[in-house]
Amino acid sequence: MNKKIAFFVLAGILVLGGGISWAQAPLFREQLVYSLTSFDGSGFSKSFCPQSEETLYFIANFNSVVNPRKTIVYYWPITRRYMAGFSTLNEEVPGKLEIWQGGKLINTLEKQKYVLYYPEGYWSEKATIYLGEDAQEYYDEYKAAVDEFNKKLQEYYQAMNYYQQQLNNFFEEVRRRREAGETGPLDISIPQQPEPPEFVKFYVTEPAEGFILNLPVGNYEIRVRMEDGTIFEGSEKNLVVFTARRREGVGYEIIPGNRWTKRENCDDPSWIIHAVGKNELYFNPFYQEEYNELYYNKLKDPQNIGRLEKWKWVHVDPVDDAQVLLGRGEEILQTVDKAPYFVKQVPGPELGYEIIPYDEELKMSGYQPTFESYKVTLGEDLVGADYQISTISRETGEHIPKSERTIRFLKKENGAYLYAVAFLPLVAGAIIIISRSYRVEK
């Protein structure tokens, strides 16, 4: 009995003790990190490089920002990465940034003022960096635009108040005249609702300071030299500056009509769209660049791992003002313009939805388009052959280079004969060997 009690007590201690150790708070360390604003082909990715990472990765010949900061760093085992507590400590590191290559100092940088300019708004990926006086000018322009918007918003609120009053007066007047026994149409002007002002379309970040790196392809080292001439401990990092393997060409995001939530990518020019039967395909063409997966992942976040042997296509910009063509050889079968579509949930049918063109009726009902795309219909007449899809620029009327892809219709029903074809060498061998035996015997 005593043994049993002792066993349960021991087990309880172990379980509780284990629980306590699992619940341990992570270890916080103060360390120098590099806060990074790296150009990623389209816009800018923000990340940080802790002491555990020895190398930073940047795209060649484009501005990227590195900013050494002192902060609190801790390891977060769930995501297997170090986290920075910038809200707790975010101290600037004084000094200049030295860039070395092959044991030689090639440049010493001072901090510069910069802003990020998002021409399509805060949520868009596309961004440009502006430096020095330009940075301040763009930020001032943005501030002025926001102030102007706020002013118009105030005027709008006032106009809305006035409109509400006018509307109340209108209803009061209608009620009064109806109660007075007036019938037929009333000659009272209806108040007009004011239009709200349009929000500032672009966005500019607050001016900040950092070291601007813009280097050709190569391997470098960086470090921060303090004003007293010493190197800031932990500031030494390797730098890999890389470029795209392939820049030209257009990649496609394809929304198959029969499974619109599971999209496909056809990025590499050598990739083929194999089709069986009829379908509706919604194509979204993008300009793209191909980067080494490891380098690109590390550029996005130095703690990512990635595969050095793999390459990935990065969609840089959507292809606007274009048309998508479906053809066979020289013959053009379909010319498609970009159009908005709405996914309508339908109870009953197998798919559970229907993709319909977004029209005025839907707009008036307050619906937004689900997506915009170039719709190509693969009808039942397109079978057992190869067709080409390509994108032409509306401006020039010419094919955008490397935008061609093959749509190949497979004859699935003949798949069973594949094993029969494998017997070809045995048949040939039998003919050769038997004819030789016959010759020898003869």
Partner 1 sequence: MAKKVTRTLFKRDFLYTLYSWGYYAAIFASFLVSSFILKNFIDGIREEDILVSAYPLHQPLYITLIIISIYLVIVSAISISREREQGTLEVLFYGPVTAGNFLWSKYFKDLLLGIIALGFTAVYFYLVSCLTNLGFTTGLIKALFMGVFIISCVVSFGLFISSLTGRIRSSVVTLLAILGAFLAVQFAYGALLGLGEEATISLPLLYLRQTLSYIFQGINWISPFAFLSRGLDAVVLESWSLYLANIVYCLIYSLIFMALSIFTMNRRGVKA
Residues of the shown chain interacting with partner 1 in the complex, contacts defined by CB under 8 A: 80, 246, 254, 256, 258-259, 264-266, 268-279, 281, 293, 297, 304-310, 384-386, 406, 408-412, 414-419, 421-426, 428-430, 432-433, 436
Query: Nearest distance from residue 398's CB to partner 1, in Å?
Result: 21
Torsion 357-361-367-368 (CA) sign: positive
348: left (phi over 0), alpha (psi -120 to 50) or beta: left
Nearer residue to partner 1 within complex by CB, 178 or 307: 307
CB nearer to partner 1: pick between 118 and 387: 387
Q: Can you list the positions of beta strands (E) in 8-63?
A: 29-39, 44-49, 55-59
Shortest Å, Cβ 276 to partner 1: 5
Partnered with residue 92 across adjacent β-strands are: 69
The sign of the torsion formed by the CA atoms of 144, 149, 150, 156 equals positive
Q: How far apart are CA 297 and CA 388, in angstroms?
A: 33
Query: By C-beta, is 347 or 415 nearer to partner 1?
Result: 415
Q: Which is nearer to partner 1, 209 or 268 (CB)?
A: 268
Decide if 232 contacts 226 (C-beta within 8 A): yes
Which of 2/79 has CB closer to partner 1? 79
User: CB-wise, 180 or 305, nearer to partner 1?
Assistant: 305
Nearer Cβ to partner 1, position 96 or 402? 402
CB of 259 to partner 1, least distance (A): 8
How near is the Cβ of 247 to partner 1 at its closest, in Å? 14
Least distance between partner 1 and beta carbon 334 (Å):
16
**Six token digits for residue 193:** 């609702």
Least distance from partner 1 to the Cβ atom of residue 435, Å: 10
Q: What are the phi and psi torsion angles at 124 (to 5°)?
A: -80, 155
Residues 111, 337: Cα–Cα separation, whole Å: 47
3-class DSSP state of 136: helix
Please state, in angstroms and rounded to a whole number, the distance separating the CA atoms of residues 286 and 374. Answer: 12
Question: Which lies closer to partner 1 via its Cβ, residue 222 or residue 299?
Answer: 299
Q: Which is nearer to partner 1, 90 or 304 (CB)?
A: 304
Gap between the Cα atoms of 326 and 335, Å rounded: 7
Nearer to partner 1, 309 or 331 (CB): 309
What would the two tokens of residue 56 be? 């930073």
The answer to whether the CB of 322 falls within 8 A of the CB of 395 is no
Min CB(131)–partner 1 separation in Å:
33
Q: To the nearest whole angstrom, how small is the minimum distance from the Cβ of residue 54 to partner 1? A: 16
Going by C-alpha positions, the residue among 212, 207, 194 that lies closest to residue 39 is 212
Q: Render 183-240 in DSSP notation, one character per residue.
A: -S----PPPPPPPPPPPPS-EEPPPEEEEEE---SEEEEEEEEPTTSPBPTT--EEEE
**β-bridge partners, 57:** 240
**Residues 286, 249 contacting (CB under 8 angstroms):** no
Q: How far is the CB of 369 from partner 1 (least distance, A)?
A: 23
> Least distance from C-beta 438 to partner 1, angstroms?
12
Q: Say if CB 299 and CB 59 are below 8 A apart.
A: yes
